Structure 1
Amino acid sequence: MDTEGKRFFARRTLTTAAAAAGLLLLGALSGAYVGFDLPQALIDIPSGLVWMVVSFCPSPSSLERLGTILPALASTVLVSVAASCFAAIAAFAFAVVGSRAVGPGGPAGALVRAVASLFRNIPMVAWAFILLFSFKQSDFTGFLALFLTSFGYLTRCFLESIDETSEGPVEALRATGAGFWAIVVRAVIPLTITSVMSWVLYMIETNIRDATLVGLLTGTGIGFVFDVYYKSFRYDAAGLVLLAIIAVVIACEATSNFVRRRIL
């Protein structure tokens, strides 16, 4: 290795070491500010894990609660799927208008991107609290919270997918005098459908997980059932709720991966 190569790797090693030291220092300062005691936390981890396993382990009596758990879980899944699908339809329409490749351009594109950024950067928990005061505790409140967050996220993803498509088919259609909707139907949708389906499936997975937290706030679905059992110290039943949620999320992820492999 020549001298220049040695200097390059020396600088790279020094930069990596400095970055690692900076992260450790930042973590130490943050922990000291909030009063985090790392040694005590490490000591408490084993006992905490033992308590969690023992307390949240489902008991035979908790199986009697399946009649309450399964309908609530099904409701949560259906609300998540509905919110994801409706958000995908609205997001794709907005993304087409806001796209630099096929959209009308001008203020419309900037407005679409601004709206998507606004909706995406407001946390789902904040949406749930805001909507809770307007629509009270209902499944519709949870649906709206999931829909609005999904809409912002998917609009951004669809914008990137449309802008990254090949310009050849779009330019060819424009050369033949095709209008805006003809370009969308004959070029944009066929070129982006695989990417769009992949993002929608990912959004469904994410919403099923997030819907549990939304249910805690809106008093609906499986989140509400978990909250009731947890606050009434029925930890065995709460553990059964967690296992049911994990099973559904894993099944949804496996199904999503299978579908993605088939369409990609």
Structure 2
Amino acid sequence: MNEKTMRKSRWQTVIFLLIIITLTYLSSIITSFSFADGLATIPEALGWMTSNLMVTGESLDKLPNILEKLAETTFMSIAATTIAAVVSLFLGVLGSKTTKVNNFLSVFARFIASVSRNIPVVAWSLVLLISFGQNSVTGFLALFVGTVGFLTRAFIESIDEASQSSVEALTATGATYFQIVGKAVIPQCLPQMISWVLFMVETNIRNATLVGILTGTGIGYTFDMYYKMLDYNAVALVTLTIVITVIMVDLISNYVRKVIL
């Protein structure tokens, strides 16, 4: 890299940083946000959390009910993810350039993935809440739709990155479309697909808490109920159980990824 190119790169970096700083400053003015006031409230907030968000013996009496709701949320997240993975695999095969049947179905699959992925799970929850009301079906569908969009996109990219040599070899021998997909494409992409599914299980357990607050189900509803009752000790216990569950799922997912990848 010559001196002229390096100088141009430095100027581009400086201009980019100035733009970011300017946008940040303008955003703080428009939203009336003060960084100094925000930093000043941190010690007070930490003090309040230390004195109020403590697990006590009284709050531990609520643990069985909390664990029941947490299990409900966890299983709902796993069910939504696994069923969405099956649908996403079908859409991913149709949407990939390697395995597409025709251009119309490919564009259709990508369109579904784009729409469901770009609308947040919270927005899906609010939309579905109007139709299905406050129940577990609404929470399940919100997680399902959001997961389909993400996994379809991930599966399409995984299939597109698969080696073409085995596909060409089977094509040359006169293999059918389903034989090519089942014998050449899916086996190559399966480890990555499983990894993406495990990632979405972790993500959906986190999302299910917020979805539950909106749909009145699962651990999210339990959190919201104790919060509105100002029972901060129970809120602390709910938060702790969610954190422990997410960490356990993350450890299991990492172990499975090491085995399959």
Contact 1:84–1:146 under 8 Å retained in 2: yes
- Match for 2:9 among 9, 12, 31? 12
Q: What TM-score, normalized by structure 2, do the two folds share?
A: 0.97
Contact 1:98–1:105 under 8 Å retained in 2: no
Report the AA paired with residue 77 of structure 1: T
Aligned positions, number: 261
Report the AA paired with residue 229 of structure 1: Y
Find out whether 1:71 has 2:82 as its counterpart. no
**Farther-moved stretch of structure 1 (112-121 vs 210-219):** 112-121
Report the AA paired with residue 105 of structure 1: N
Find out whether 1:217 has 2:214 as its counterpart. yes
Q: Quote the RMSD (CA, aligned, Å).
A: 1.2
Contact 1:216–1:224 under 8 Å retained in 2: yes
**Deviation (angstroms), 1:253:** 0.5
CA distance in 2, matches of 1:47, 1:39: 14
Could you tell me which runs of 5 or more consecutive residues in structure 2 were left unpaired when the two chains were aligned.
none
Q: Which residue of 1 aligns with 2:78?
A: 81
Q: What TM-score, normalized by structure 1, do the two folds share?
A: 0.96
**Farther-moved stretch of structure 1 (43-52 vs 5-14):** 5-14
- Match for 1:205 among 187, 198, 202? 202
Give 1:1-150 correspondences, 5 Å limit. 5-150=2-147
Q: Which residue of 2 aligns with 1:259?
A: 256
CA distance in 2, matches of 1:241, 1:78: 17
**Deviation (angstroms), 1:106:** 1.9
Residue aligned with 2:101, SS:
coil
Could you tell me which runs of 5 or more consecutive residues in structure 1 were left unpaired when the two chains were aligned.
none
CA distance in 2, matches of 1:170, 1:141: 41
Report the AA paired with residue 58 of structure 1: V
CA distance in 1, matches of 2:14, 2:189: 43
Per-residue CA deviations over 1:111-150 (Å, capped at 9, x if unaligned) read 1111111111111111101111211111111110000000
CA distance in 2, matches of 1:7, 1:171: 46
